[in-house]
Amino acid sequence: MTEVAEIGFSGTKAASVVGISYRQLDYWARTDLVRPSLCDAAGSGSRRLYSYRDLLELRVIKSLLDAGIKLESVRKAFGYLREHVEADIAAATLVISGNDVLLCDGDTLIDIVRRGGQGVLNVLAIGSVKTDLDASLVQLAELGVPAIPAASAADAPLAIAQAV
């Protein structure tokens, strides 16, 4: 089986692709909402390197916040998703009801924030978020912005500085 090197994205590129400010991305990383899985910052001058899955999680978080879910509830929801969803997160469907976030698991809705709530106002199929993210990455590639291979994560500060 051939192993494919995972592509990494600098914090600036990740923020741009996801549609958030770099400051927001930095805050989410420092408060452990989403830590970059390829290369985390390790002191002054070091750079973070985000994977595709990290970008997907970031885009879902942004979608939940845009839907009016409070950041505290988003943190609880992602804690639950990371613990209980073993398959690809893009296969999950979240139901947003007021400040409640429910996971659609077959015929069951699980309130992953409070274990309660009624009335469905919005459904966020994470697969559509994945499709939007893929389109953003294609646009980035068409603009000639290179991604950074994860294998070079040890040299990430140098590689990112050269790519930016």
Domain ranges of the chain: 7-163
Quick one: tokens of 128? 């559509």
Region 126-131: mean pLDDT is 82
pLDDT at 155 over 90: no
CB 149 within 8 A of CB 7: yes
Cα 99 to Cα 84: distance, rounded to the nearest angstrom = 20
pTM higher than 0.75: no
Residue 116 φ/ψ, nearest 5 degrees: -170, -175
Q: What pLDDT score was predicted for residue 15? A: 94
4: confidence class by pLDDT, cuts 50, 70, 90: very low
Cα 85 to Cα 93: distance, rounded to the nearest angstrom = 11
Quick one: tokens of 3? 């192993």
**pLDDT single digits (tens) 131-146:** 889 888 888 888 887 7
**pLDDT single digits (tens) 12-26:** 999 999 999 999 999
Cα 156 to Cα 10: distance, rounded to the nearest angstrom = 9
Please provide the CATH number assigned to the domain covering 7-163: 1.10.1660.10
Q: What pLDDT score was predicted for residue 84? A: 77
Cα 151 to Cα 60: distance, rounded to the nearest angstrom = 26
Cα 140 to Cα 118: distance, rounded to the nearest angstrom = 40
Q: What pLDDT score was predicted for residue 159? A: 46
CA dist list (Å): 74 to 60, 87, 111: 10, 19, 12
The conformation of residue 151, written as its DSSP 8-state character, comes to: G
Region 109-129: mean pLDDT is 63
Per DSSP, the residues of 60-98 read: HHHHHHHTT--HHHHHHHHHHHHHH--S-GGG-EEEEET
